[in-house]
């Protein structure tokens, strides 16, 4: 009997796939990678896997790895896919593959199964990461198997299968949208959300955030401390990476921070709609950006900003374990060495407003920046600067006069 590991979440897709793998004669080993998913009973999920036919079912706690080794480097890049999405799902997938292959080596499995569809991005992220880490791995993607698709042409058939097998799942025929959760965010997609005429924010039952309308009528102030671009403290108290994100999720969530509804371009070519909530990471992105305004010089900041969309694409498409991404990670570690300090924000009904920012490495010089008389900036120096900057324009203007 061939052995495989299954990246198991306990959701609809992987619950069905686990039963299907057993039906196909596999010896599946379910791996629940604990990424700090809220709203989930982990013991019940593992027991459900065993009841469904998993040879073993285990939980691997990777919360700290997710934040420290994956989310925070992307935060340093200020990487947002298509300028909006903070990549909470994309970041998690290569880590899930990494953990599953560690378990595969332990149990002697050559196969690695996942529940990503043949239409989505996750199939790319899972497979590209797995094959980069182990070129001999056999990736099992049931959604790309025609017999599987014939048996399960839609979510309704999957729900019916689970009902016949006695497998408990969140989704129902009446409301078949799916969710993916970790400590960085929750994403919602499919089902009724595919209809763009529906208000996604009203449809979704959010697990992390209160609506801005229902948030408190008073401002909450929070101070984030960074060292070399990595968040370390909340209100002066040191926190482990995952604990820090979870606390900011609580703080941001009760203040209605971090909800988006977007239509994005998938790697496979189609457009899809996603509703996301990421309260903690939204706060961190804003605080980090404000601290960089003090600590990064202009040219380095602009270079980072020019490269950030490429970084976001590499993460979104699934090329975390690649030579290009390795080089970009090395670049950002060097670029962020002096991004140390504190930023204080006011949070109010979905909004973030800066109160103060400070850094021992601040490049802001009030004596240079002042618009008052005196100071350490000699305005006469601007004359030569502008003569040099304007030279190409003056030469071109003589050769090809404008307005003539």
Provide the residue count of the chain.
Answer: 404
Torsion of CA 184, 328, 76, 68, to 10 degrees: 50
Tell which wins on pLDDT, 169 or 81.
81
Spot the catalytic one: 15, 90, 122, 155.
Answer: 122
**The pLDDT of residue 216 is above 80:** yes
Q: Active-site residue 217, yes or no? A: no
CATH 3.40.50.2300 is the classification of domain 3-176: no
The percentage of residues in the chain with a pLDDT greater than 70, rounded to a whole number, is: 96
244, 67 in Cβ contact below 8 A?
A: yes
Across 2-16, 69-83, 178-192, the highest mean pLDDT is recorded for 69-83
Segment holding 230, helix H or strand E: strand 230-234
What whole-number distance in Å separates Cα of residue 363 and Cα of residue 349? 32
Backbone torsions φ then ψ of 231, nearest 5 degrees: -65, 135
Spot the catalytic one: 9, 15, 34, 93.
Answer: 93
Residue 383: predicted pLDDT: 92
Closest to 53 (Cα-Cα) out of 181, 166, 155: 166
Q: Active-site residue 178, yes or no? A: yes
Spot the catalytic one: 69, 178, 266, 362.
Answer: 178
Residue 134: predicted pLDDT: 97
Tens-place pLDDT, residues 310-365: 999 999 999 999 999 999 999 999 999 999 999 999 999 999 999 999 999 999 99
Confidence of residue 173 (pLDDT cuts 50, 70, 90): low
> Which of 159-163, 222-226, 364-368 is predicted with the least confidence, judged by mean pLDDT?
364-368
The percentage of residues in the chain with a pLDDT greater than 90, rounded to a whole number, is: 83
Residue range 186-358, CATH number: 3.90.1260.10
Confidence of residue 174 (pLDDT cuts 50, 70, 90): low
What is the pTM assigned to this prediction?
0.92
Q: Active-site residue 358, yes or no? A: no
Confidence of residue 404 (pLDDT cuts 50, 70, 90): low
**The pLDDT of residue 167 is above 90:** no
Q: Active-site residue 93, yes or no? A: yes
Over residues 163-181, the mean pLDDT reads 76
Torsion of CA 390, 391, 393, 397, to 10 degrees: 130
**The pLDDT of residue 7 is above 90:** yes
Domain ranges for the chain? 3-176, 186-358
What whole-number distance in Å separates Cα of residue 389 and Cα of residue 253? 48
Average pLDDT along the chain: 94
Q: Kindly give the interhelix angle for 323-335 and 298-317, rounded to the nearest 10 degrees.
A: 150
**The pLDDT of residue 132 is above 90:** yes
Tens-place pLDDT, residues 368-398: 877 676 667 788 888 999 999 999 999 999 9
Confidence of residue 143 (pLDDT cuts 50, 70, 90): very high
What whole-number distance in Å separates Cα of residue 226 and Cα of residue 87? 21
Tens-place pLDDT, residues 54-110: 999 999 999 999 999 999 999 999 999 999 999 999 999 999 999 999 999 999 999
């Amino acid at each position: 009997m061939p052995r495989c590991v299954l990246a198991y979440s306990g959701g609809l897709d992987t619950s069905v796939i686990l039963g299907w793998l057993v039906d196909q004669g596999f010896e599946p080993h379910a791996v629940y990678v604990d990424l700090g998913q809220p709203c989930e009973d982990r013991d019940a999920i593992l027991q459900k896997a065993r009841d469904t036919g998993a040879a073993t079912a285990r939980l691997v706690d990777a919360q700290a790895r997710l934040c420290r080794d994956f989310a925070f480097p992307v935060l340093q890049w200020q990487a947002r896919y298509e300028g909006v999405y903070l990549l909470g799902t994309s970041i998690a997938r290569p880590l899930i593959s990494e953990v599953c292959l560690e378990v595969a080596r332990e149990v002697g499995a050559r196969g690695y199964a996942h529940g990503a569809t043949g239409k989505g991005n996750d199939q790319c992220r899972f497979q590209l990461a797995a094959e980069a880490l182990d070129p001999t791995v056999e990736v099992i993607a049931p959604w790309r198997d025609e017999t599987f698709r014939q048996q399960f042409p839609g979510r309704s058939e999957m729900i019916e299968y689970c009902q016949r097998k006695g497998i408990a799942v969140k989704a129902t025929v009446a409301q078949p949208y799916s969710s993916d959760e970790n400590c960085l965010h929750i994403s919602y997609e499919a089902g009724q959300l595919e209809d763009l005429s529906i208000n996604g924010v009203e449809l979704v039952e959010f697990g992390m955030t209160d609506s801005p309308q229902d948030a408190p009528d008073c401002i909450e102030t929070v101070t984030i401390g960074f060292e070399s671009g990595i968040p370390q403290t909340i209100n002066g108290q040191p926190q482990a990476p995952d604990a820090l994100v979870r606390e900011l999720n609580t703080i941001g969530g009760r203040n209605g921070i971090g909800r988006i509804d977007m239509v994005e371009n998938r790697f496979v070519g189609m457009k899809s709609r996603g509703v996301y909530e990421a309260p903690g990471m939204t706060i961190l992105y804003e605080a980090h950006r404000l601290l960089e305004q003090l600590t990064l010089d202009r040219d380095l900041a602009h270079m980072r900003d020019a490269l950030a969309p490429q970084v976001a694409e590499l993460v979104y498409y699934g090329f975390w374990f690649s030579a290009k991404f390795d080089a970009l990670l090395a670049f950002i570690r060097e670029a962020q060495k002096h991004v140390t300090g504190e930023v204080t924000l006011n949070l109010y009904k979905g909004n973030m407003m800066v109160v103060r920012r400070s850094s021992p490495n601040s490049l802001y010089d009030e004596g240079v920046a002042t618009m008052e008389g005196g100071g350490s900036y000699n305005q006469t120096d601007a004359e030569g600067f502008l003569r040099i900057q304007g030279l190409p324009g003056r030469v071109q203007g003589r050769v090809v006069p404008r307005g003539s």
